[in-house]
């Protein structure tokens, strides 16, 4: 898991990092991590890429550690703060942008049917998506579940922000979107939700890929933001009906 902190690695590259064990042992260990939902797998041709899935670790942190420490420290991980910072970033900070890319892979297990999770991702988006580009000034989120549909934040008088546009949708299995998600400038960003139903539970898999002129902090900000949005806010809303504080 430490080897995957800085990004995905192929199984072959991981095997080279541990010459003292066999490839079979590495594959067996990766299989155990995958079954525990601590890594996610993406295949590119014949290459298997292994991604660290920090969501279960974040869930344990929230349950056993976070309740005992200052909530302000937790907020540093939120996508909301980074999105607001990117909008108000001055010209001096803009010079820190560089041509780069990132890919985020996460998997969340939700104790609910796939139909219920899909409904939350679309019809109920305003009830659990707590981040707002309009800050605490008040706004409403809407999601149009169709090709070309908009994931839109509106704050009245025709003003608002476009979080994404649907490029593919197959209910209740998959949603693909293009959207900046708080980033700005010369950036291409696409994200996908894939829903798999297993024994009354739903495995929600997120894949987010961005490339262009990026701030070095955006990758970690979005990784932490997705963990909070899907692994905490969405999961709690679907399982218990709890709605997060918006802001």
CATH number assigned to the domain comprising residue 48: 1.10.10.10
Residues 11 and 68 in one domain: no
Stated pTM of the model? 0.68
DSSP letter string over the chain? -GGGTTS-EEHHHHHHH-TTS-HHHHHHHHHHHHHTTSEEEEEETTEEEEEE--HHHHHHHHHHTGGGS-HHHHHTT-HHHHHHHHHH--HHHHTT-EEEEEEEEEEEEESS-HHHHHHHHHTTHHHH----TTTTS--EEEE--STT-EEEEEEETTEEEEEEEEEEEETTTEEEEE--TT--SSEEEEEEEEEEEETTEEEEEEEEEEEEEE-TTHHHHHHHHHHHIIIIIIHHHHHH---PPP-
Final residue in a domain of this structure, among 17, 36, 52: 52
Within a domain: residue 246? no
**In a domain? residue 245:** no
User: For position 6, what pLDDT does the model report?
Assistant: 80
Residue 200 lies in a domain: yes
Give the number of domains in the chain.
2
Per-residue pLDDT tens listing for the chain (247 residues): 888 888 888 988 888 888 888 888 888 889 888 888 888 888 888 888 988 887 777 777 666 655 555 554 455 455 555 555 555 454 434 447 888 899 999 999 999 999 999 999 999 999 999 999 887 778 999 999 999 999 999 998 889 999 999 999 999 999 999 999 888 888 999 999 999 999 999 999 999 999 888 988 999 999 999 999 999 999 999 999 999 976 5
| 247, part of any domain | no
Name the residue range of residue 70's domain: 56-240
| Model pLDDT, residue 88 | 45
């Amino acid at each position: 898991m430490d080897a995957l902190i800085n990004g995905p690695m192929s199984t072959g590259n991981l095997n080279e990092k541990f010459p003292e064990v066999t490839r079979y042992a590495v594959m067996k260990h990766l299989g155990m991590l995958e079954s525990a939902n601590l890594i996610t797998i993406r295949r590119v041709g014949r290459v298997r890429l292994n991604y660290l899935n920090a969501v279960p670790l974040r869930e344990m942190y929230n349950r056993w550690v976070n309740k005992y420490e200052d909530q302000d420290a937790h907020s540093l991980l939120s996508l909301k703060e980074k999105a607001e910072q990117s909008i108000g970033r001055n010209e001096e900070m803009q010079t820190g942008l560089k041509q780069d890319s990132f890919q985020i892979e996460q998997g969340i297990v939700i104790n609910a049917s796939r139909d219920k999770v899909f409904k939350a991702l679309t019809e109920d988006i305003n009830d659990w998506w707590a981040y707002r580009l309009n800050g605490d000034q008040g706004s409403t989120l809407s999601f149009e579940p169709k090709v070309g549909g908009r994931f839109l934040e509106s704050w009245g008088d025709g003003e608002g922000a476009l979080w994404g546009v649907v490029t593919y949708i197959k209910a209740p299995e998959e949603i693909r979107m293009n959207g900046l998600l708080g980033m700005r400038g010369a950036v291409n960003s696409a994200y996908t939700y894939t829903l798999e139903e297993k024994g009354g539970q739903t495995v929600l898999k997120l894949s987010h890929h961005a490339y262009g002129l990026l701030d070095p902090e955006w990758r970690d900000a979005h990784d932490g933001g997705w963990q909070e949005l899907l692994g905490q806010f969405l999961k709690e809303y679907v399982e218990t009906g709890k709605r997060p504080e918006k802001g």
